[in-house]
Amino acid sequence: MIALSSLCLASSAQLRADDQALLFDTNGYRIEQFRAPVPATVDGAKTIDVEHLRRLLGTADGAVVLIDVLPAPPRPPRLAEGTLWLPPPHLSIPGANWLPNVGFGRLSDELDAYFRASLRRLTDADKTRPVVIFCEADCWMSWNAARRAAEYGYASVYWYPEGTTGWEQAGHALAVVAPAPAD
């Protein structure tokens, strides 16, 4: 009976490890189930809360770059060809730059180029300029994007895991933002 219990525990642990392997690519980026609890930290980034973000925005004299990485909503698949589709407005922290889809675990060459060029443009090519990356609460998109920005060589990456959810819950207003244009 003890041997059977041990075997079941070992099988359960292996199943959890296999499940985790399916969620991440070989580089450690989350590639599935993006809406889930996130870890407390990201390699290469400093984790901040709403009060730290508020202080950064109040004292940085416009130097902090806010980057919202929530994905753009896809066009409904059953919408008839030729039908006008207007995506819903995207609400974010006022002053944020919306770079949709750059938080996916695997980026196409075009999306990777868009993220790199946008970071370069928004920071005036200053890799020491503070960059705050966020999405919504419990969203791995911001974790992936913050990690990627640090890997691109940005030295002052802040990760705000509470995202727009935490900002709004703290009583701060949100504003409509449009996707940042491709360069």
Whether residue 183 is contained in a domain is answered as no
123-177 pLDDT per residue, tens: 999 999 999 999 999 999 999 999 999 999 999 999 999 999 999 999 999 999 9
User: How far from each other are the two terminal CA atoms of the chain, in whole angstroms?
Assistant: 65
Same domain membership, residue 22 and residue 65: no
Q: Give residue 67's pLDDT.
A: 98
Query: Does the pLDDT of residue 106 top 70, yes or no?
Result: yes
Span 102-111, average pLDDT: 94
Same domain membership, residue 173 and residue 133: yes
Whether residue 182 is contained in a domain is answered as no
Q: Give residue 60's pLDDT.
A: 62
DSSP 30-94: B-S--BS---S--TTEEE--HHHHHHHHHHSTT-PEEEE-PPPPPPPTTSPTT----PPPEEEST
Whether residue 10 is contained in a domain is answered as yes
Its pTM stands at 0.84
Task: List the single range of 75-84, 87-96, 146-155, 159-168 with lowest mean pLDDT.
Answer: 75-84
Q: Give residue 1's pLDDT.
A: 46
Q: Give residue 53's pLDDT.
A: 96
Span 70-84, average pLDDT: 89
Closest CA to 157 of 43, 31, 81: 43
Domain total for the chain? 2
Same domain membership, residue 64 and residue 2: no
As separate numbers, helices (DSSP H) first and strands (DSSP E) second, the chain gives 5, 7
3-45 pLDDT per residue, tens: 444 444 443 343 344 455 578 667 778 777 778 899 999 999 9
Same domain membership, residue 169 and residue 117: yes
Sheet with strand 45-47: strands edge to edge: 45-47, 157-160, 131-134, 65-68, 97-98
